Structure 1
Amino acid sequence: MKKYMVVENFKPGLMDENYRVYNAKGRQFPDGLYYLNSWANAEKNICFQLMESNDEALFYEWFKKWEQFVDFELFPLD
Structure 2
Amino acid sequence: MRFMVVEHYLHGAAPVYERLRAGGRAVPDGVTFVDSWVDESLDRCWQVMEAPDRESLDAWTRAWSDLVDFEITAVVPTDEAARRALG
Provide the TM-score with structure 1 as the length reference: 0.90
Higher normalized helix content (fraction of residues):
2
Correspondence for 2:15? 17
Q: Which runs of 5+ in 2 are unaligned?
A: 77-87
Report the Cα distance in structure 2 between the residues aligned to 1:42 and 1:66, rounded to whole angstroms: 21
**Aligned-residue offset at 1:17:** 1.0
Amino acid at match of 2:3: Y
Unaligned runs of 5+ in 1: none
| Worse-superposed segment, 42-51 or 29-38 | 42-51
Paired positions, count: 76
Match for residue 3 of structure 2?
A: 4
Larger radius of gyration: 2
Q: Which amino acid aligns with 1:3?
A: R
Highest relative contact order (Cα 8 Å, sep 6+), 1 or 2? 1
Q: TM-score, structure 2 length as denominator?
A: 0.81
Runs of 4+ in 1 over 2 A off after TM superposition: none
